[in-house]
Structure 1
Amino acid sequence: MCGIAALHHPTSVPAAAGEPMVDAIAHRGPDDTDQREVGRHAWLGHTRLSIVDLDGGRQPLRGLDGWTLVCNGEIYNHAQLRDDLGEQDYRTSSDSESALVLLARFGPAALDRLQGMWALCAAAPDGRFVAARDRLGIKPLYWAEVAGTRYFASELCAFPADVQAAVETFPPGCSWTPETGLVRFAEPVPEPVGMPDWAGMSAEIAEKSTREVLIDSVRRHLMADVEVGVFLSGGLDSSIVAAIAAADCAEAGQRLKTFAVGSADSPDLLAARAAAEHLGTEHHEVVFDAEQAIAALDDVVRSVESFDASLIRSAVPNWFLSELAADHVKVVLTGEGADELFAGYGYYHRTHADDLQDELARTLGELHGLNLQRCDRVTMAHGLEARVPFLDADVIAHAMSLPEELKALEDGVEKAHLRRAFTGWLPDELLWRRKVQFGTGAGAQDLLTPHWESRITDAELESTNEPVRTKEELAYYRIFRNALPTIRPEAVLTRFATA
Structure 2
Amino acid sequence: MCGLLGLLTSDGSAADAVDLVAAATHCMRHRGPDEPGTWNDEHIVLGFNRLSIIDIETSHQPLRWGPPDNPERYAMVFNGEIYNYLELRAELGRDEGAVFRTEGDGEAIVAAFHHWGPDSVRRLRGMFAFAIWDTADNSLFIARDPFGIKPLFIATGPGGTAFGSEKKSLLELIDRIGLSEDLDPRATEHYTVLQYVPEPETLHASIRRLESGTYATLKPGSAPSVRRYFTPQFAVRPVTEATRQQRYDDIAQALRDSVAKHMRADVTVGSFLSGGIDSTAIAALAIQHNPDLITFTTGFQREGYSEVDVAAESAEAIGARHVIKVVGPDEFIASIPEIVWYLDDPVADPALVPLYFVAKEARKHVKVVLSGEGADELFGGYTIYKEPLSLSAFDKLPGTLRRLAGKVSDRIPEGTRGKSLLHRGSLTLEERYYGNARSFDDARLRAVLRDYRPEWTHTDVTAPIYAQSRGWDPVARMQHIDLFTWLRGDILVKADKITMANSLELRVPFLDSEVYKIAETLPFDEKIAHGTTKYALRKALEQIVPPHVLHRRKLGFPVPIRHWLAGTEMYDWAHETIAASQTDHIFDKSVVVAMLNEHRDGVVDNSRRLWTILIFMVWHAIFVEKTLVPAITDHDYPVRL
Q: Same fold (TM over 0.5)?
A: yes
Cα distance per residue 1:103-147 (max 9 Å; x no partner): 222322222111100001111334111111111111011010122
Decide which of 454, 465, 473 is 2:586's aligned counterpart.
465
Q: Report the counterpart of residue 105 of structure 1 in structure 2.
A: 115
- Check the 8 A contact 1:21/1:153 in 2, yes or no: no
1:7 counterpart = 2:50: no
Using the TM superposition, give the Cα deviation of residue 472 of structure 1 relative to its aligned residue in structure 2, in angstroms. 2.0
Match for residue 36 of structure 2 among 29, 33, 38 = 33
From the superposition, tell whether residues 445 and 79 of structure 1 become closer, same or farther in structure 2 (CA, over 3 Å): farther
Partner residue of 2:292?
255
Question: Match for residue 166 of structure 2?
Answer: 155
Asked if the contact 1:219–1:248 (Cα under 8 Å) also holds between the matched residues in 2, the reply is: yes
1:23 to 2:26 alignment = yes
The 3-state SS of whatever aligns with 2:132 is strand
1:341-420 paired onto structure 2 within 5 Å: 341-351=378-388, 354-366=473-485, 367-411=487-531, 413-420=532-539
Q: 1:448 and 1:115 mapped to 2: Cα distance?
A: 43
Partner of 1:307: 346
State the match for 2:226 in structure 1: 183
For 2:281, the aligned partner's letter is I
Matches of 1:463 and 1:151, distance apart in 2? 32
The offset of 1:260, in angstroms, is: 0.7
1:435 match: secondary structure: coil
* Closer/same/farther in 2, CA of residues 240 and 476 from structure 1, 3 Å limit: same
| CA RMSD across the alignment | 2.7
In the TM superposition, what is the alpha-carbon distance from 1:88 to its structure 2 partner?
A: 3.4
Q: How much does 1:196 deviate?
A: 7.0
Within-5 A mapping of 1:221-236: 221-236=262-277
Q: Which sections of structure 1, spanning at least 5 residues, go unmatched? A: 488-499
Q: How far does the alpha carbon of each residue in 1:223-254 deviate from its partner, in whole angstroms, 9 at most, with x for none?
A: 100110000012110001011111232xxxx3
Q: For residue 301 of structure 1, report the CA deviation from its aligned partner.
A: 1.4
Q: Distance in 2 between matches of 1:131 and 1:73?
A: 13
Please give the alpha-carbon distance, in whole angstroms, between the structure 2 residues aligned to 1:40 and 1:100: 21
1:463–1:144 Cα change, 3 Å: closer
Shift of 1:422: 1.4
The residue that corresponds to 2:133 in the other structure is: 123
C-alpha contact 1:439 1:445 (8 A) present in aligned 2: no
Q: 1:222 to 1:302 in 2, by over 3 A?
A: same
The residue matched to 1:485 in structure 2 has which SS? helix
Q: Deviations over 1:385-406 (max 9, x none)?
A: 0000000011111101111110
One-letter amino acid of the structure 2 residue matched with residue 474 of structure 1:
I
- Work out whether 1:206 is the aligned partner of 2:247: yes
Moved more, 389-398 or 341-350: 341-350
Structure 1 residues 45, 201: CA separation in 2 closer, same or farther (over 3 Å shift)? farther
Cα displacement string for residues 372-416 of structure 1 (whole angstroms, at most 9, x for unaligned residues): 0000011001110000000001111110111111001422x2223
Closer, same or farther: CA 449–418 of 1 in aligned 2, 3 Å: farther
SS state at 2:539 partner:
helix
Q: How far apart are the structure 2 equivalents of 1:215 and 1:447?
A: 41
Report if aligned partners of 2:234, 2:476 keep a CA contact under 8 Å in 1.
Answer: no
Contact 1:112 1:185 in 2 (8 A): no
Change (3 A) 1:452 1:53: same
Correspondence 1:421 to 2:464: no
- Structure 1 residue 215 corresponds to structure 2 residue 256: yes
Verify the 8 A CA contact 2:299 2:325 in the aligned structure 1: yes
Change (3 A) 1:10 1:191: farther
Alignment partner of 2:351: what SS? Answer: helix
Equivalents in 2 of 1:486, 1:116: separation in Å?
38
Matched, 1:68 2:75: yes
SS of alignment partner, residue 288 of structure 2:
helix
Alignment correspondent of 2:92: 85
Q: CA, structure 1 residues 188+276, in 2 after alignment: closer, same or farther (shift >3 Å)?
A: farther
Q: Which residue of 2 aligns with 1:50?
A: 52
CA contact (8 A) 2:299 2:557 kept: no
CA separation of 1:486 and 1:390: change in aligned 2, threshold 3 A = farther
Partner SS for 1:171: coil
Moved more, 168-177 or 68-77: 168-177
User: Deviation string for 1:172-224 (max 9, x for gaps)?
Assistant: 122221269333242243786xx976455443222111111111111110010
- Cα pair 1:140 1:368 within 8 Å, conserved: no
**Consecutive aligned runs of 4 or more in structure 1 exceeding 6 Å deviation:** 459-464
Cα displacement string for residues 81-100 of structure 1 (whole angstroms, at most 9, x for unaligned residues): 11111063311111111111
Contact kept in structure 1, 2:76 and 2:110, CA below 8 Å = yes
Q: Distance in 2 between matches of 1:357 and 1:92?
A: 42
Deviations 1:442-490 (Å, cap 9, x if unpaired)?
x566546765566449x97997624997222222111111222299xxx
Match for 1:465: what amino acid?
I
Paired amino acid for 1:436: L
What is the letter of the counterpart of residue 103 of structure 2?
S
- Asked if 1 retains the 8 angstrom alpha-carbon contact of 2:153 and 2:164, the reply is yes
For 1:447 and 1:395, locate their aligned partners in 2 and report how far apart those are by CA, in whole Å: 39
Structure 2 unmatched ranges of 5 or more: 182-203, 393-472, 593-607, 627-641
Residue 335 (structure 1) shift: 0.4
Residue 436 of structure 1 deviates from its aligned partner by 1.5
Q: Give the match for residue 550 of structure 2.
A: 431
2:342 partner amino acid: S
| SS of the residue 1:224 aligns to | coil
Partner SS, residue 20 of structure 1: helix
Task: Provide the C-alpha distance between the structure 2 equivalents of 1:91 and 1:57, rounded to a whole number of angstroms.
Answer: 9
Distance 1:447 1:206, change over 3 A: farther
C-alpha distance in structure 1 between counterparts of 2:233 and 2:514, whole Å: 8
Deviations 1:339-363 (A, max 9, x none): 1111111112214875111221221
User: Which residue in 1 is equivalent to 2:309?
Assistant: 270
Contact map agreement 1:188 1:364 (CA 8 A) in 2: no
Distance 1:209 1:315, change over 3 A: same
Alpha-carbon offset, residue 281 of structure 1? 0.5
Q: Which amino acid aligns with 1:363?
A: D
- TM value normalised by structure 2: 0.70
